[in-house]
Amino acid sequence: MQKNNPEGKKIFPEISWDKIETVMLDMDGTLLDKHFDDYFWEIYVPEHYSLLHNISVNEAKKQLLEKYRRVESTLEWTDLEYWSHELGLDIAELKMRINHLIGVHPYVIEFLEFCLKTGKKLYLITNAHSKTLSIKLEQTSIGPWFDRVVCAEEVGCAKEDHKFWIRLQEILSYDPRTTLLADDTEKVLRSAASFNIAHLIFVARSSSRQPVRYSPDFPSIDFFKELIPSKKRS
């Protein structure tokens, strides 16, 4: 991890692929365009919540934001059953109605091909609820690329929790010194750094509809082509 970059200028990754055996990739915002999630939780759910409770959409957004903040960075935040009970809405059904908005970021497939050709162990590591995971894997067909997919609910805590990486090692038997993790959440990367995962990459373009934001602390990429040696910074 690098520091002393208060302006948030891009820190370019310098990857020695011969030193990496395991590649762990987040899903939402990292492999998949976060526009779906932003639209779902910030617009689509408030619209339905406002109708259910006969309140304005703005008031619905205000109430929901308070509920979101209470469980941020916990398993409840991604638990569809929790939100269905909390909000009185069938969250899984609502996600299915707009699943056409789920999309894979550019150059993701090329990067997965590169990892496969170079013999890396490839894992999808996500906080997403198993129902959300099923919807997104069915829509995108990226599941078969991975040696294994691990949800935070299987581990028992969110990726932001230091204990996550300890328990994940018991599941996957990975070596932190030869592991690369790419994620669009700095708090997750800091948690992974506390477990000495050696190669940490921040995905700065999590949503196609939002400005790029580089990490002041971690090497950042706009697209995964930057990690493929022959296409680096092209």
Q: What is the pLDDT of residue 230?
A: 76
Could you tell me whether strands 22-25 and 179-183 are parallel, antiparallel, or unpaired per DSSP bridges? parallel
Q: Does 7 fall in a domain?
A: no
The Cα–Cα gap between 207 and 199 comes to 23
The continuous run of DSSP H or E covering 153 comes out as helix 152-155
For the record, the structure tokens of 177 come out as 């010194």
Q: Are residues 82 and 166 in the same domain?
A: no
For the purposes of burial, counting CB atoms within 10 Å of the CB of 31, is it exposed (0-12), middle (13-18) or buried (19 or more)? buried
In this structure, the chain runs to a length of 234
**Full DSSP string of 29-91:** TTTB-THHHHHIIIIIHHHHHHHHHT--HHHHHHHHHHHHHHTTTSHHHH-HHHHHHHHTS-H
For the record, the structure tokens of 6 come out as 């208060």
**In Å, how far are 97, 127, 227 from 158, measured between CA atoms?**
27, 6, 26
Q: Are residues 159 and 44 in the same domain?
A: no
Per-residue tens of pLDDT for the chain, all 234 residues: 444 555 568 999 999 999 999 999 999 999 999 999 999 999 999 999 999 999 999 999 999 999 999 999 889 999 999 999 999 999 999 999 999 999 999 999 999 999 999 999 999 999 999 999 999 999 999 999 999 999 999 999 999 999 999 999 999 999 999 999 999 999 999 999 999 999 999 999 999 999 999 999 999 999 999 999 975 544
Q: Are residues 80 and 117 in the same domain?
A: no
Range of the domain at 73: 35-100
Q: Are residues 79 and 116 in the same domain?
A: no
Q: What is the pLDDT of residue 2?
A: 44
For the purposes of burial, counting CB atoms within 10 Å of the CB of 44, is it exposed (0-12), middle (13-18) or buried (19 or more)? middle
Q: Among residues 74, 100, 126, which one ends one of the domains?
A: 100
For the whole model, what pTM was predicted?
Answer: 0.92
Of 120, 105, 139, 131, nearest in space to 210 by CA: 105
Q: How many domains does the chain have?
A: 2
Q: Are residues 110 and 96 in the same domain?
A: no
Q: Among residues 43, 65, 100, which one ends one of the domains?
A: 100
Q: Are residues 54 and 139 in the same domain?
A: no
Close Cβ partners of 98 (under 8 Å, ≥ 6 residues apart): 36, 39, 40, 44
